[in-house]
Amino acid sequence: MKLFLDTADAAEIRELAATGLVDGVTTNPSLAAKTGRDYSESLKEICSIVSGSVSAEVLATDFDGMLKEGRAAAKIAPNIYVKVPSTWEGMKACRALTDGGARVNVTLCFSPLQAMMAAKAGAAFISPFIGRVDDIGEDGMGLIRDIRAIYDNYGFKTEILAASIRSVSHVREAALAGADISTIPADIFKKLMSHPLTDKGLAAFAADAKKANVTIKV
């Protein structure tokens, strides 16, 4: 499974990209607002840090506006993916942008049928918001599994990008459910390698080595 960072903070992205484990970035206007920077300039910097896909969300909700903003966003860098919403206007924009050579991430997906329509419209990514689905008492991971089944049934190439990740267990469950990608807040990304038994084992190894005066010549 590919791992994306869900942030517009260039410093966070630069820090975690240094691990070699960041495959891409998703952004949106809400995340960009937290940085206080111009959105387009922020996207340019992020695209210079990460060679993988960087999702840039349109602000317009009508077809003409999404098409205009999407085309402008796609020109920022070769690795930009345009984010449009799971609406009829978004589907029209997805098809038009895709036909024009842009890659599209259809966001705010909450149902398997929305995901099917996005795939038919040519979306590169579909972004089901699993945390928000859980918030209304439904099954976010069930949504991932349903989309996976539909896509596999019909050979759709659209990648499932699990969004609205709230915990490390969400990442694990999304991988088991068949998501192609998880987009993860930086604080959760940093916890992916954490386990108390690893810490305990390392402490024991260090203590034993010190006691036995074990060293490695370099």
Listed as own residue / partner, the contacts of 11-16 with beta carbons closer than 8 Å and 24 or more positions apart are 12/186, 13/46, 13/49, 13/50, 14/49, 16/186, 16/189, 16/190
Residue 124: both structure tokens together: 């590169």
Residue with tokens 């993916």: 81
Which residue in the list 2, 34, 44, 83 is annotated as catalytic? 83
Helix (H) or strand (E) holding 81: strand 80-85
Helix (H) or strand (E) holding 134: helix 130-135
Helices 88-99, 63-74: crossing angle, 10 deg rounding: 40
Task: Please state, in angstroms and rounded to a whole number, the distance separating the CA atoms of residues 177 and 171.
Answer: 10
Say whether 83 is catalytic. Answer: yes
SS3 content of the chain, % helix, strand, coil (to 5): 50, 20, 30
Residue (of 69, 121, 66) closest to 99 by Cα position: 121
Catalytic residues: 83
